[in-house]
Structure 1
Amino acid sequence: MSFRFNFDIETDGEDVETGGVETTPSVPVEETPDSSRIPAQLHSIHELISKLPPHIAFSPLAIPLTSSKTITIPRRELFDVRMQLMAEDNNPSTDTSQNFSAAFTDEDIRTNTYEGGLKSWECSSDLVKQLATDSEVWMNSSHRILELGCGTALPSCYILQTLLPVSGDQPVHFTLADYNLDVLRLVTLPNLILAYLYATNGLPSMDPSATEGSEETPEIELTSTLISSFLSTLQTHNITISFLSGSWSPAMISLIHGGLEYPSTAEETMHSLLLASETIYSPSSIPEFVDMIEYTLASSGKGYIAAKDVYFGVGGSVKDFVDIMEKKKWKWEIDVDTDID
């Protein structure tokens, strides 16, 4: 296996605002025992579709690739997520997770309860840029794609947007994993649907300058016709998507391998492309993250890990992760992004 490592150099430890993308996670305000960690569960796309709201509001995220080229990815608005949660809280018959309080606070992370998945973090945009730069590397060889700690899933959305216009016979399977099921249903799947609509020209104008200063946020209605079209398009392009919630663990690794006993490195269920951004901010979780990589990424596969050099106040660092990779004799290289405005 091999890695392309992308990380930002921070200036004097200060956070930087970058166009609607969050920077460094703040220190967890609450520690909970390991025994309270959410167990790993596998979810089908049909399960999450059943939890979608009638409509979603979205906005375009513009990610500059070069001075003349910008990548645009539509994503669901956080205020719209909050409105959905309030509506569910007022409807006792709603069969969804209740009281997802992290959506209504300023907390970035609540350890073992919420891991920041509702927000788009800066390194996920960096990872999109790296994928765009390396498209020839992964485009024709990545048939099983795993995004760990996916959250808003910008990298996977970019890949889906890139693959859909291409007529490919080779099947592609996405596995998207986040600690919280609520994150998967509230932002991950909606953003994948938005990526499909963007790739098939099914959205209103996606020119960020066209909506700048406007008080109206574009919405789409998630009709049964739209959902059927989304699913049939995936099927036509031989694309399947599954979702995992819960903690990184032997149980999650087993689910990724279709229930095979841990530890499994069955080549047919290993992944050719592994994506992760902002996943090494907590030193205590790095060993579990490394296990996820070791037992899910094929020996011939490629991993892209985007992270800050140092997570001030939280403790994680690229050095900690690199030290482990060196002990395991994994092949890796680092790309440093010093272009911070």
Structure 2
Amino acid sequence: MSFKFNFDIEADGEDVETVGVEATPSVPVEETSPGSSKISAQLHSLDELIAKLPPHIAFSPLAIPLTPSKTITIPRRELFDVKMQLMAEDNNPSTNTNQNFSAAFTDEDIRTNTYEGGLKSWECSSDLVKQLATDSEIWINSDHRILELGCGTALPSCYILQTLLSKPSDHRVHLTLADYNIDVLRLVTLPNLFLAYLHATDNLPSTDPSVTEGSEETPEIELTPTVISSFLSTLQSHNITISFLSGSWSPTMISLIHGGLEYPSTTSETMYSLLLASETIYSPSSIPDFVDMIEYALSNSGKGYIAAKDVYFGVGGSVKDFVDMIEAKTWKWEIIREEKRGVGVGRVVGVVSKS
């Protein structure tokens, strides 16, 4: 299936703000192309994805207003830069690329079982960043295993990383980022983590208009061996490890999370104390799989921060459908942030807990 959400979104490099306009339902179109089966889950190491990085990354800062006097800045890779990399790879016969990923550059927001919208920074991910900043005492001063499902451009994880790297810490943190597409992980997720590191360590080129006035060039970084080595050593000195998962939410992914244990076996040592997700409940058919991921990944004492639109017109998912499923398991759901005024479709950030 292919869909166009027609929601107000913050598309990378093309931020859109439409106030007071209701979202228009779009009609699902049957996907008739081959290769529509789900992508199998795979575990990827940081070293594996570093080997797939481009030599340069063009970026721009995303400003997320927290209060009238405070703004959170998260640098992210420019979408045009991703397109240029993919075109270069298409022209290189020796490059092993996923031809189906061309769906990412059509007018569709998602193409079911092919591309799930991971190249765009959706509104709810910014809402989740705001809530993480508000609740920083929950995660900033303790050991944590953190999982972001459907990470895409990974704004919440980037915010956590740049916050952790901006101060000394003796706490251990393991960060796992999962997206349906391995191409999303290599093209935007990991590059954005590098940008978060450089931002936290004050090593990004200036994006201040007063400094760059008269220049039409987009700032970029060069991913030299020195930069990569410094990134890895900084993670090590802060006791931070990072891993990645691609593919569908499934028993296989759950098994990979738990070190290869057969589904649905779990171990407390491999459960996550903090689970993050934004814009992951748009499809009614995938909500049960998402709830399974929460059940077998989130620890009994952990918190799952879920950011979503109230309803996804034309696609069918809704917060109510999701909440009905988790309440059937006698879990708790608490809305801790609402964005209702001046937006086309209401948005919420809620916390799932098992006890």
Given the two structures, how large is their TM-score scaled by the length of structure 1? 0.90
1:143 aligns with 2:135: no
* Alpha carbons 1:60, 1:207 under 8 Å: kept: no
Aligned to 1:176: 177
1:15-52 Cα distance to aligned partner (Å, 9 max, x none): 33558457989665444799710000000111111111
Quote the RMSD (CA, aligned, Å): 2.3
**1:175 aligned counterpart, secondary structure:** strand
Aligned to 2:8: 16
1:85-120 Cα distance to aligned partner (Å, 9 max, x none): 000011111244345202321211000000000111
**1:192 aligned counterpart, secondary structure:** helix
* Alpha carbons 1:48, 1:185 under 8 Å: kept: yes
Aligned to 1:6: none
1:49 aligns with 2:71: no
Aligned to 1:286: 287
Aligned to 2:82: 81
1:165 aligns with 2:166: yes
Aligned to 2:339: 337
User: What is the alpha-carbon distance in structure 2 between the residues aligned to residue 339 and residue 199 of structure 1?
Assistant: 33
Question: Closer, same or farther in 2 for the Cα pair 1:258/1:14, shift >3 Å?
Answer: closer
| Pairwise CA distance, 1:260 | 1.1
Q: Percent identity?
A: 81
1:227 maps to a residue whose letter is I
Question: Closer, same or farther in 2 for the Cα pair 1:46/1:89, shift >3 Å?
Answer: same
Structure-to-structure mapping, 1:268-287, within 5 angstroms: 268-287=269-288
1:265 aligns with 2:266: yes
1:238-278 Cα distance to aligned partner (Å, 9 max, x none): 11100000000000000011111111231100000000000
2:7 maps to a residue whose letter is D
Give the stretch that moved more between structures: 212-221 or 183-192.
212-221
Give the stretch that moved more between structures: 99-108 or 33-42.
33-42
Structure 1: gaps (5+ residues): 1-12
1:151 maps to a residue whose letter is G
* Alpha carbons 1:151, 1:178 under 8 Å: kept: yes
The alignment covers a number of residue pairs equal to 329
Given the two structures, how large is their TM-score scaled by the length of structure 2? 0.87
User: What is the alpha-carbon distance in structure 2 between the residues aligned to residue 96 and residue 177 of structure 1?
Assistant: 19
Structure-to-structure mapping, 1:94-109, within 5 angstroms: 94-98=95-99, 100-109=101-110
* Alpha carbons 1:150, 1:178 under 8 Å: kept: yes
User: What is the alpha-carbon distance in structure 2 between the residues aligned to residue 22 and residue 113 of structure 1?
Assistant: 25
Structure 2: gaps (5+ residues): 18-22, 344-355
**2:103 aligned counterpart, secondary structure:** helix
Structure-to-structure mapping, 1:137-286, within 5 angstroms: 137-141=138-142, 143-207=144-208, 215-286=216-287
